[in-house]
Amino acid sequence: MRRKFHHAIILPSLCCISFYIGIHIVGETEASFTSQVSPEPMEISAAFVFPAIIEQLEGDAEEIANNAASKYEIITNDFHDAVLPELYTRLAEIEECEQELRIQLNQLQSIYNELFAYQRKIQSYEESDTLTFHYVRDGYQHVKRIMEDGQAAIDFQEIETIRSSLQSQINELEREKSIQADHQENTKSLDETEGLNQAATNSNNLKQVTENGQENF
């Protein structure tokens, strides 16, 4: 009986001691782990614009510049003297192409402005980030050349000269047409007047002959 009582006391005591030692070890381990894994703040440089976007802007700029060059070529093509309907069509074509040219150059300017904003943004970054975003700088320079070449190649003063010359031809032909129409109208009126006069003369002659014949009887 005494032996059983002794075991009953020792066993709970051992459990308490083990539990205490376990808590102490876990506490030290947790404290040690926590002190080891405290990270330093990390700075992540996220791309504010992806290369695909820059490539798309470059492609759009090239397409717009090519279309503008085609429109300008249509305007400056040689056009020989023609009849009025053809001149009217040609003038309308030039005015339409000029309007489209201005729209296209504005679109090209918008693309350049967007890339210029990206270019200025990367200038505030560290040197390593600037090198990372080299595609922004390259795209900006590419579109800048496209825009400058397009602006240099398209001369709106020349377009104005071509349009003015064409309008002068139209005005001259319209004036000649009006003169011809007036001449034809005058000729027609004169012919009608002469016809009436001749008819009146013939009528008078016939009347005179009739009267003379009656007198002879």
How large a percentage of the chain has pLDDT more than 70?
61
Q: Which domains does the chain have, with CATH numbers?
A: 51-180 (1.20.58)
* Single-letter amino acid code for the residue at 60: D
pLDDT at 9: 45
Least confident piece of the model among 43-47, 87-91, 124-128, 156-160: 43-47
The C-alpha atoms of residue 66 and residue 71 are separated, in whole angstroms, by: 9
Distance between CA 139 and CA 131 in Å, rounded? 14
pLDDT at 187 > cutoff 90: no
Work out the average pLDDT over 118-122: 90
* Whole-angstrom distance, CA of residue 173 vs CA of residue 178: 8
Length of the chain in terms of residues written: 217
Lowest-pLDDT range of 50-59, 173-182, 196-205 = 196-205
Q: What is the pLDDT averaged over residues 40-63?
A: 75
Half-sphere exposure (CA, 13 Å, Cβ side) for 208? 6
Task: Supply the pLDDT for residue 112.
Answer: 97
81: confidence class by pLDDT, cuts 50, 70, 90: low
First to last CA, the chain: 195
The tokens for 157 are 């003063």
pTM, rounded to two decimals: 0.62
Q: What is the pLDDT of residue 49?
A: 85
| Mean per-residue pLDDT, 210-215 | 60
